[in-house]
Amino acid sequence: MESSSSATKQECELRRGLQEEEFFLHYQPRMNIRTGEMMGAEALVRWSHPEYGVVYPDTFIPLAETTGLIIPLGEEVLRQACLQHKEWEMQGLGSIVVSVNFSPRQIYESGIVENVATILHETGMDPKFLEIEITENVMIDVDHVLGSLRGFKALGVSISLDDFGTGYSSLSYLKNLPIDKLKIDQSFVFTSTSDMNDQSLVKTIIAIGHQLNLGVVAEGVETREHLVLLQRNLCEEAQGYLFSKPVPASVFKEQMRVWEGMVKERGVGDAENS
Ligand code: C2E
Ligand code: MG
Ligand code: MG
Ligand code: MG
């Protein structure tokens, strides 16, 4: 579809965007659906392109990966997320956990653990409030990945496995890798209340997580029915359009109580009693 010259042009654009600091973050709330508390925010990168307006990550992350530009972009994203956490801390919201997506290419990069340590140090971010999201695809090279993950854990950062159930999967790595949480892929959650096979998968993933002492987060929670199903099956956290799309950090503080009300309104207690 693309000629190599247009690929090169896009690469130049990406480089220029980085130089011009056109990348910024939106944050999507992560709700504790047992207590109703807003407990975290996933940082999701956007590109404010001078010509095309706001550009979403699915269109530029793959190119950033193949060109290696994901390394400087990833550093920029992590730095912004850490600085945002510091700001929240000053506003009394310091216990929010910020999660940041890392591509396989970033995990394989030598010196990645030191880079993360440097950014934590420079921004003054407490590592225990940072969560790194990786996907199953990094497991293609388990040996390589293990060193990085252990390094992150040694820094005090936690790790979640994103899009769980859709990637290159072998359950054996779950017991060998230092992972703290599973994130159930949204494709299972979307249809969990209409397709009984997907519902079974959601329940099974929650059970696997709990058996292995991992937390479980559901993504793509769009309806109250999704929420109730997850609560009945004792999932800990949920994220999705039911609560909010990813929003600028400024919106976060204003909306926090509204989101919490949505879980508390009819959720927690009801699900347990019904
Ligand atoms: P992801 O990490 O699995 O993030 C979830 C995506 O689903 C986000 O799309 C989010 O806006 C969207 N989403 C959340 N809740 C719902 C829902 O209820 N319904 C629907 N239909 N969608 C929902 P987004 O922001 O476009 O990001 C897409 C992907 O791009 C992310 O998937 C992640 O893999 C990647 N990505 C985003 N930011 C970064 C980054 O800073 N670094 C890297 N390496 N990858 C990133
Ligand atoms: Mg993610
Ligand atoms: Mg995901
Ligand atoms: Mg995804």
Centre of ligand 2 to C-alpha 92, Å, is: 25
Tell me the C-alpha distance between 105 and 90, whole Å.
33
Residue nearest to ligand 1 atom 42, measured at CA: 101
Q: Is the pTM of this model over 0.90?
A: yes
Residues lying with their CB under 5 A of ligand 3, a single-atom ion: 162-163, 219
Q: How many CB atoms lie within 10 A of CB 238?
A: 26
Q: Tens digits of per-residue pLDDT, 52-99?
A: 999 999 999 999 999 999 999 999 999 999 999 999 999 999 899 999
Residue nearest to ligand 1 atom 3, measured at CA: 163
Q: Helical H runs in 102-193?
A: 104-108, 112-123, 142-155, 172-176, 186-190
ipTM greater than 0.95: yes
The DSSP secondary-structure symbol of 100 reads E
Could you give the C-alpha distances from 113 to 118, 127, 141, 183, in angstroms and in order? 9, 12, 17, 23
The DSSP secondary-structure symbol of 272 reads H
Centre of ligand 3 to C-alpha 227, Å, is: 17
